[in-house]
Structure 1
Amino acid sequence: MRITAAIRYTALLITLLSTWFILQTYFQRSWRTISLRSWLGAANKPSSEKLPRNKCGNQKSCPQNYFAFKIISGAANVVGPSICFEDLVLMSSVKNNIGRGLNIALVNGTTGQLLKTGAFDMYSGDVTKLLVFLQGIKRGTLVLTASYDDPATKMNDKVRAHFTELGSNHVRNLRFRDNWIFLGAKGLTNKSPFEKHIKNDPKTNKYEGWPELLEMEGCAPRKMD
């Protein structure tokens, strides 16, 4: 019995020594090959290796004398729209200045300064409030618009004419629960290139009763005096 116990203790000791030797050898070699960069990960790259963040989180930066913007429409009647201009959020749910219908931000086309915002209920609201707002827009003003829920039930020909004058090509076709985002300007001689429109169609709607949200980013030229 004593011999058997001695053999067991000897075998156990040899196993422990062998394990310790293997671990010691492995970790010494591994720690030599592990660099600080791989240990910390890509998130801690030197600042010179990080990609620069563009204004409004856009994919591309804008050249000099251009304004960066991003407009996102609402999603159904659940998630509100947002309007960002030169890295400043002008309208959003967080700012609590949006509403069902059309959400519009007016910006000075030369300085980029925010002039006014407005949210207009186009389902059960008073459309004359929107008409007064549009009539007061001065020449050289950028007009950023995002729809939410329903942009068109109360829309009449006068409202459509104002947006057409601002450079819209799709406002005349806007209907119940369509999604629409648009950047135009007072005094444009041509149609704006910054516009997206998606129809409310039960066959293609992403949400029950509403189309998918729209997103648009880009660079709007500064109006030079």
Structure 2
Amino acid sequence: MRLAGPLRVVVVVFLVGITWLLTSSVLGRDGGSILRHFFSGGGEEPTPEPKPRKYKCGLSAPCPEKHMAFRVVSGAANVIGPKICLEDKILMSSVRNNVGRGLNIALVNGVTGELLEVKSFDMWAGDVSELLKFLRPLHEGTLVFVASFDDPSTKLNDEARHLFEELGSVAAKELAFRDSWVFVGAKGIENKSPFEQRMKNSKSSNKYEGWPESLEMDGCIPVRAPLEN
């Protein structure tokens, strides 16, 4: 049976339209979008959400002028080492092969942001006198970044804890076996540091068997004014 005249015209128009859409797609025009629009009933595709922008050391927002961005991460159990980042530069990490069990400390010039020295101190089997020699002669305005790994406290004595208190620490006084600890202090600070976290080693709440979870702390440190002569 032959198609009636009007119906034949509709079929021909439909075929011509499909052919045009396919040709447009092959020739590089936005035929694909037109086809999707045609067959989806005209609905618009959802626009993907933009990825959040990351700033220095992975911060979610930039630091104000005359501030330095930092991030300090303690070690995870005795497996994953700690990391200290300042102004997008990794000062200490397992990748840099300059971290170890105990306390990992980076000294930074608080005026210029220059890295002065990094060193790790074994607080399980090491000698606390090495830590004391490191902390006693600090100059006014020196920033002190600390990240624990495994055990930060077994060898700590009263003098070592007091030296950290003078840098602005509150947790150093009670820091215990296998606690997680991150801290940023400064020589000559008048009050307690706003940059400190401690996670107690507790069988009832430990994330890892025998160790609490790793701590991660970031923020913006104000640049210190140069000391007057």
Pairwise TM-score range, normalised by the shorter structure: 0.7 to 0.9
| Corresponding position of 1:179 | 180
- How much does 1:30 deviate? 3.4
- Aligned partner of 1:117: which letter? V
- Aligned partner of 2:34: which letter? R
Give the whole-Å Cα distance in 2 for the aligned partners of 1:65 and 1:152.
34
- Aligned partner of 2:143: which letter? L
Work out whether residues 21 and 34 of structure 2, in 8 Å CA contact, stay in contact via their aligned partners in 1.
no
Greater helix fraction, Structure 1 or Structure 2: 1
| Corresponding position of 2:138 | 137
| Corresponding position of 1:111 | 112
Percent identity among equivalent residues? 52
Residue by residue over 1:89-109, the C-alpha shift from the partner in whole angstroms, topping out at 9 and shown as x without a partner, is: 000000000000000000000
Task: Confirm or deny that 1:193 pairs with 2:194.
Answer: yes
Q: Give the SS at the match of 1:189.
A: coil
Judged with a 3 Å threshold, the aligned counterparts in structure 2 of structure 1 residues 30 and 153 are, in CA distance, closer, same or farther, namely same
Judged with a 3 Å threshold, the aligned counterparts in structure 2 of structure 1 residues 74 and 50 are, in CA distance, closer, same or farther, namely closer
| Corresponding position of 1:30 | 32
Task: Confirm or deny that 1:215 pairs with 2:199.
Answer: no
Q: For 1:46-85, list aligned pairs within 5 A.
A: 52-85=53-86
Judged with a 3 Å threshold, the aligned counterparts in structure 2 of structure 1 residues 34 and 22 are, in CA distance, closer, same or farther, namely closer
Query: Where in structure 1 do 4 or more consecutive aligned residues deviate above 2 Å?
Result: 20-35, 49-53
Judged with a 3 Å threshold, the aligned counterparts in structure 2 of structure 1 residues 34 and 169 are, in CA distance, closer, same or farther, namely farther
| Corresponding position of 1:99 | 100
Work out whether residues 54 and 61 of structure 2, in 8 Å CA contact, stay in contact via their aligned partners in 1.
no
- TM score, norm. by length of structure 2: 0.80
Work out whether residues 53 and 60 of structure 2, in 8 Å CA contact, stay in contact via their aligned partners in 1.
no
Residue by residue over 1:131-188, the C-alpha shift from the partner in whole angstroms, topping out at 9 and shown as x without a partner, is: 0000121110000000000000000000000000000011011000000000000000
Give the whole-Å Cα distance in 1 for the aligned partners of 2:91 and 2:35.
50
Aligned length: 198
Give the whole-Å Cα distance in 2 for the aligned partners of 1:145 and 1:163.
10
Q: Give the SS at the match of 2:164.
A: helix
Give the whole-Å Cα distance in 2 for the aligned partners of 1:121 and 1:150.
8
- Aligned partner of 1:30: which letter? G
| Corresponding position of 2:4 | none
Work out whether residues 100 and 149 of structure 2, in 8 Å CA contact, stay in contact via their aligned partners in 1.
yes
Judge which range, 26-35 or 60-69, deviates more. Answer: 26-35
Give the whole-Å Cα distance in 1 for the aligned partners of 2:18 and 2:123.
71
Give the whole-Å Cα distance in 2 for the aligned partners of 1:174 and 1:188.
20
Q: Give the SS at the match of 2:57.
A: helix
Q: For 1:123-134, list aligned pairs within 5 A.
A: 123-134=124-135
Give the whole-Å Cα distance in 2 for the aligned partners of 1:25 and 1:50.
37
| Corresponding position of 1:5 | none
Q: Give the SS at the match of 2:214.
A: coil
Give the whole-Å Cα distance in 2 for the aligned partners of 1:207 and 1:32.
54
Aligned-pair Cα RMSD in Å: 2.6
Work out whether residues 151 and 179 of structure 2, in 8 Å CA contact, stay in contact via their aligned partners in 1.
yes
Structure 2, unaligned runs of 5 or more: 1-14, 26-30, 38-43
Q: Give the SS at the match of 1:151.
A: coil
Give the whole-Å Cα distance in 1 for the aligned partners of 2:62 and 2:20.
51
